[in-house]
Structure 1
Amino acid sequence: MTTALPSNITIRSRAARNLALTLKASGPRVRRDGLIPLVRCSSTTTNASAALEATRTNTPVVNGAETPLSELPPLILYRSLFINAVSSRPWLLIPSLHLLQKLSLSGNPYLFNVSRNPLLRSILKHTFYKQFCAGETGAEAQATMKELQDMGFKGTILTFAKETVFDSKTGTEQGHGIEASTTNECQWCDNIEAWRDGTLKTVELLREGDQLATKLTGAGPGVCEALHNDAPLPKQFVDACYEISQKVKDRGAYILIDAESQHYQWGIFRLGLELQEKFNTDGNVVLYNTYQAYLKSTQDTLKKHLQIASDKGFTIGVKVVRGAYMSSDPRSLIHDTKQDTDDNYNQIAQGVLRQDFLGFGGSSKRPFPSAQLLLASHNKESLVKAHEMHQERTKANLPTVPVKFAQLHGMSDEVSFGLLKLKDDKGVAPEVYKCTTWGTLGECMAYLTRRAIENRDAASRTLDEYTALKNEAWRRLAFWR
Structure 2
Amino acid sequence: MSASLRATSSLGTTGIAAFRAPLVLRHQRYVSTRSSISGDSVAPVVANSPAEVKRAAASASAHSVVPTGVLLRSLLVTTVSSHPLLLGPSLSILSFLSKSRSLLLDVERNPLIYWFLRKTFYDHFCAGEKESEVHRTIQQIKSTGVKGVIMTYTRETVQDSRTEEQRFANANALEKAASTDACEHIQAWREDVLRTVDMLGPGDFLAPKLTGAGPKVTRAFAAGQPVPAQMVEALDEVCRRVVEKKARLLMDAEQHAFLGGIHSLTIDMMRKYNRSGKAVIYNTFQAYLKAAPELIAAHLKLANAEGFTLGLKLVRGAYMSSDPRHLIHDTKEDTDRAYDTIVRGILQQNYQGFGASPSCPFPATDLFLATHNIESAVAAHNLHEARVRANLPTCKVEFGQLMGMADGVTYGLLQLTGENQVNRAPPPAVYKCLHWGSMRECLSFLLRRAAENRDAVARTMTEHEALKAEVKRRIRAGLGRS
Q: TM-score, normalised by structure 2?
A: 0.86
CA distance in 2 between partners of 1:146 and 1:314 (Å)? 34
- Paired amino acid for 1:315: T
Match of 1:442 in 2: 440
Q: Counterpart in 2 of 1:67?
A: 61
Q: Does 2:210 correspond to 1:216? A: yes
1:292 counterpart = 2:286: yes
What residue number does 1:469 align with?
Answer: 467
Alignment-derived partner of residue 476 in structure 2: 478
CA deviation vs aligned residue, 1:103-127 (integer Å, no higher than 9, x gap): 22363321x2111111211111111
User: Equivalent residue for 1:457?
Assistant: 455
Deviations 1:435-454 (A, max 9, x none): 01111111111111111111
Unaligned 5+ runs, structure 1 = 1-43, 58-65
- Displacement after TM superposition at 1:463 (Å): 1.5
The answer to whether the 8 Å contact 2:174/2:215 transfers is yes
3-state secondary structure, aligned to 2:260: helix
**In 2 relative to 1, CA 139–180 (structure 1 residues): closer, same or farther, beyond 3 Å?**
closer
Q: Higher relative CO (CA 8 A, sep ≥ 6), structure 1 or 2? A: 2
Shift of 1:475: 2.5
AA matched with 2:432 = K
Q: What SS does the corresponding residue of 1:368 show, helix, strand or coil?
A: coil
In structure 1, what is the Cα distance between the partners aligned to 2:252 and 2:201?
20
Cα distance in 2, alignment partners of residues 146 and 292 from structure 1: 30
* 1:358 equivalent among 352, 363, 382: 352
8 Å CA contact 1:261–1:329 kept in 2: the answer is: yes
**Which residue pairs with 1:24 in the alignment?**
none
Contact 1:51–1:67 (CA<8 Å) still a contact in 2? Answer: no
Give, in whole Å, the separation in 2 of the partners of 1:180 and 1:438.
Answer: 17
Query: Would you say the 8 A contact 1:49–1:422 is kept in 2?
Result: no
Unaligned stretches of 5+ residues in structure 2 = 1-45
Q: 451-460 or 174-183: which moved more?
A: 174-183
In the alignment, which of 188, 203, 207 is matched to residue 201 of structure 2?
Answer: 207
1:362 positional shift:
3.6
- State yes or no: 1:376 paired with 2:370: yes
State the Cα deviation string for residues 86-109 of structure 1 (Å, max 9, x = none).
011111111111111122236332
Contact conserved, 1:106 with 1:177, CA < 8 A, in 2?
Answer: no
Q: 1:319 aligns with which of 310, 313, 335?
A: 313
1:239-278 equivalence runs, <5 A: 239-278=233-272
- Within the candidate set 336, 341, 349, 1:342 is matched to 336
Distance 2:178 2:374 in 1: 47
**Alignment deviations for residues 44-70 of structure 1 (CA, whole Å, 9 cap, x no partner):** 96489725424548xxxxxxxx61111
CA offsets 1:349-406 (integer angstroms, 9 cap, x no match) = 1211121111101447310001100000000000000001111111111101001000
3-state SS, counterpart of residue 407 of structure 1: strand
Calculate the aligned-residue CA RMSD, in Å. Answer: 1.8
- Counterpart residue number, 1:164: 157
- Paired position in structure 2 for 1:145: 138
Q: Alpha carbons of 1:449 and 1:364: their partners in 2 closer, same or farther (altered >3 Å)?
A: farther
* Letter of the structure 2 residue corresponding to residue 50 of structure 1: E
SS in 2 for 1:356: coil
Q: Check the 8 A contact 1:291/1:298 in 2, yes or no.
A: yes
Contact 2:150 2:206 in 1 (8 A): yes
Q: Which residue of 2 aligns with 1:330?
A: 324
Aligned length: 429
1:47–1:336 distance in 2 versus 1, CA, 3 Å: closer
Please tell me whether the aligned partners of residues 155 and 209 of structure 2 are also in contact (alpha carbons under 8 angstroms): yes
In 2, Cα distance between equivalents of 1:364 and 1:321: 30
**Within 1, Cα distance between the matches of 2:264 and 2:171?**
24
Residues 185, 362 of structure 1: alpha-carbon distance in 2 compared, 3 angstrom cutoff:
farther
Distance in structure 2 (CA, Å) of the matches to 1:457 and 1:338: 10
The range that moved more, 115-124 or 243-252, is: 115-124
